[in-house]
Amino acid sequence: MAKRYGFYVDQENCIGCFTCQIACKDKNDLPDGVLWRKVYEFSGGTTIEENGVFKSNVFAYWLSMACNHCEDAKCVTGCPTGAMHYGADGTVQHNPDLCIGCQYCRMNCPYDAPKFMEDKGIIGKCDACIDLRETGKNPACVDACIMRVLEFGPIDELRAKHGELADIKGLPDSNITKPSLVINPHKAAIK
Amino acid sequence: MEHMSLTLFSICLQAAIGIMVFVSIGKLINKDGIFKNAMFVAAGLGIIGLLSSVLHLGRPFKAFFALNQFASSWLSREIWFSSLFVGLTVLAVLILMQRPQNRTAIKGVSLLSAVVGLVAIAVMSSVFTSSSVPFWHGTVTFVEFYAAAISMGAILFLFLSISEAGSLKKLVAAAVAAAVIIQVLVVVPNLISLANDSNEAIIGSLAILNGMATAGILKWLCILIGAVLVVWSAKDEISPAVTNTVMVSALLLFVGQLVGRYMFYAAMVVGSGLS
């Protein structure tokens, strides 16, 4: 069986600098408002007084998220034209020539990865920088990360190295699409 | 009005399917019934529906690519069954125009169109229940879609063919009443139970619906008043007053289901609520 590829996200050490988001946008020349990799901010908690002592449980953390190149990608099974398909390396790829811009993949992806490109009338999404990888390089987001919290590689190797967790607060149940994703969670994001 | 083309597609097509269901029932009960107006409007609504579905695409001229993945995609199946239904309805109308004496063919094609249409509604529902929008999951979507088809189809059939279908008005009133009662009994408790759901996408969908509360009230008022009017008028003989009541009822039910369907699409929040 061919190796499946995916991302590792070290959320605990992500500082929310958005460099990955910008590197992706720049590399793919994306128009205003379209992000194939997006950094989400989560914050909450409160400060309370207990017996004259102020206690705080406020938190803030980030999650860098793109297409997770799922093993059971609902965007692929739902696509009526075959535009969404699995590439030779198991990543989810998109054929713009077959796309009719119905946006059904947007209704099917629980990670909100496919984006509608209004200027072209079709969907666009992270292809894990397949062109860069063919020349032996990493995806743009991985190499741009100043904290080195993103990795891309065979998902089995990433799981062996970092564990198998893909379920954290704010993400859907990983059993739905089996994402090729491993996360080192921020303590406030642990389910 | 981002969701208007999808709303028009599903409402027009379901109304057309409902009309053809009652045209078929009408032809079985009243052997002399032709129901020409109802058949013409069903074909027109079906064509408008299909055109609306194409217009919402980013690349409408490549719409036929959507027929490629029947084996795996509910959306592809929806396009197949919707197109087949409209094709059969148009064929029935063409036979009615060219060979009006061939009643067996008209009746047969109309019946086939109604059966394909009923399957198309199940497929349409599955497009949404199989998606990653939790608000659309469950039997409630099937109930909304079938109730819309039956209530709109029945009342439009009666209004458009009132001279021939007058004897069927009690059947029509019963069908509208049953569809609306089932719709209320399934949809309202579902909304109440979702209010306690901790899923972030559900919370997001309900927040959108809360912002459209006026539209929600309009939906239910139109549907309930429309249903009451047709039931109330069913006991009377056909007269201009009854015809007017049926017309108002048809308008109310159509508008109510249209508004409700717009809200259905507007409430789309995928998966975990990431956006």
Q: Hey, CA dihedral for B147, B261, B138, B47, is it positive or negative?
A: positive
Taking any CB pair shorter than 8 Å as contact, residues of chain A touching chain B are 40, 65, 74, 77-83, 98-104, 106-112, 116, 118, 120-122, 170-172, 176
Q: Report residue A1's pLDDT band, with 50, 70 and 90 as the boundaries.
A: low
- Is the pLDDT score of B256 beyond 60? yes
Q: Choose the mutation target among B3, B10, B59, B77 for the interface with A, i.e. most A CBs under 10 Å.
A: B59
Q: Return the residue of A nearest to B6 by Cα.
A: A102
SS3 state of residue B74:
helix
Cross-chain residue pair A109–B271, CB shorter than 8 Å: yes
Set of chain B residues whose Cβ sits within 8 Å of the Cβ of A120:
58
- Is the pLDDT score of A2 beyond 80? no
The rounded distance, in Å, linking the Cα atoms of B170 and B164 is: 13
Q: Smallest CA–CA separation between A176 and chain B, in Å?
A: 9
The answer to whether B68 and A80 have CB atoms below 8 angstroms apart is yes
The rounded distance, in Å, linking the Cα atoms of A129 and A126 is: 7
Q: Choose the mutation target among A112, A125, A183, A191 for the interface with B, i.e. most B CBs under 10 Å.
A: A112
Question: What pLDDT, on the 0 to 100 scale, is given for residue A137?
Answer: 96
- Is the pLDDT score of A167 beyond 70? yes
- The average pLDDT across B6-19 equals 97
- Is the pLDDT score of B71 beyond 90? yes
Nearest to B93 by CA among B34, B152, B149: B34
Pairing of strands A181-184, A5-10: parallel
pTM here? 0.92
Question: For the segment A43-79, what is each residue's pLDDT rounded down to a tens digit?
Answer: 999 999 989 999 998 999 999 999 999 999 999 999 9
Q: Hey, CA dihedral for B71, B74, B75, B78, is it positive or negative?
A: positive
Identify residue B81 by its one-letter amino acid code.
F
The answer to whether A23 and A35 have CB atoms below 8 angstroms apart is no
Average pLDDT of chain A?
95
Q: How many Å separate Cα B206 from the centre of its chain?
A: 23
Nearest to B4 by CA among B179, B273, B254, B258: B258
Cross-chain residue pair A112–B133, CB shorter than 8 Å: no
Cross-chain residue pair A111–B74, CB shorter than 8 Å: no
The rounded distance, in Å, linking the Cα atoms of A65 and A181 is: 10
Q: DSSP string of A42-93?
A: EEE--EEEETTEEEE--EEEEEEE-----TT-HHHHH-SSS-EEE-TTS-EE
Question: For the segment B52-62, what is each residue's pLDDT rounded down to a tens digit?
Answer: 999 999 999 99
Taking any CB pair shorter than 8 Å as contact, residues of chain B touching chain A are 56-60, 62-63, 65-69, 72-76, 79, 127-128, 130-133, 200, 268, 270-275
Question: What pLDDT, on the 0 to 100 scale, is given for residue B214?
Answer: 97
The rounded distance, in Å, linking the Cα atoms of A33 and A39 is: 13
H helices within B32-138, ranges in order? 36-55, 74-98, 103-129
Cross-chain residue pair B274–A40, CB shorter than 8 Å: yes
* Candidate from A98, A107, A122 with C-beta closest to B133: A107
Q: Report residue B273's pLDDT band, with 50, 70 and 90 as the boundaries.
A: low
CA dihedral B89, B95, B101, B102 (to 10 degrees): -80
Set of chain A residues whose Cβ sits within 8 Å of the Cβ of B73:
77-80, 104
- The average pLDDT across A26-41 equals 96
Question: For the segment B107-126, what is each residue's pLDDT rounded down to a tens digit?
Answer: 999 999 999 999 999 999 99
Cross-chain residue pair A102–B66, CB shorter than 8 Å: yes
SS3 state of residue A115:
strand
A9 membership: H or E segment, kind and range: strand A5-10
- Is the pLDDT score of B2 beyond 80? no
Q: Report residue A120's pLDDT band, with 50, 70 and 90 as the boundaries.
A: very high
Cross-chain residue pair B271–A104, CB shorter than 8 Å: no
- The average pLDDT across B201-210 equals 94
- Is the pLDDT score of B272 beyond 70? no
* Candidate from B58, B65, B268 with C-beta closest to A98: B65
Cross-chain residue pair B130–A78, CB shorter than 8 Å: yes
Calculate the alpha carbon distances from B105 to B96, B99, B160 in Å.
Answer: 9, 9, 22
Q: Smallest CA–CA separation between A145 and chain B, in Å?
A: 22
Average pLDDT of chain B?
94
- Is the pLDDT score of B3 beyond 90? no
Give me the phi and psi of B238, to 5 degrees please. Answer: -65, 130
Cross-chain residue pair A116–B74, CB shorter than 8 Å: no
- The average pLDDT across B246-272 equals 94
Cross-chain residue pair B270–A106, CB shorter than 8 Å: yes
Share of chain B above pLDDT 70, in %: 98
Q: Smallest CA–CA separation between A159 and chain B, in Å?
A: 23
Whole-number CA gyration radius for chain A:
18
Question: For the segment B146-183, what is each residue's pLDDT rounded down to a tens digit?
Answer: 999 999 999 999 999 988 877 888 999 999 999 999 99
- The gap between the terminal CA atoms of chain B, to the nearest Å, is 20
The rounded distance, in Å, linking the Cα atoms of A126 and A20 is: 12
The rounded distance, in Å, linking the Cα atoms of A8 and A162 is: 8
For B212, residues 6+ apart whose C-beta sits below 8 A from its C-beta are B263, B266
Q: Smallest CA–CA separation between A100 and chain B, in Å?
A: 5
DSSP label at residue A100: -
Cross-chain residue pair B132–A176, CB shorter than 8 Å: yes
Question: For the segment B23-63, what is each residue's pLDDT rounded down to a tens digit?
Answer: 999 999 988 889 999 999 999 999 999 999 999 999 999 99
Q: Return the residue of A nearest to B135 by Cα.
A: A107
Q: Which residues of A117-146 are buried (b: 16+ CB within 10 A; e: fewer)?
A: beeeebbbbbbbbeebbeeeebbbbbbbbe
For B177, residues 6+ apart whose C-beta sits below 8 A from its C-beta are B227, B230, B231
Q: DSSP string of A161-190?
A: HH------TTS--TTTT--SEEEE--GGG-
A6 membership: H or E segment, kind and range: strand A5-10
Cross-chain residue pair A112–B274, CB shorter than 8 Å: yes
> In terms of pLDDT, which residue wins out, B200 or B74?
B74
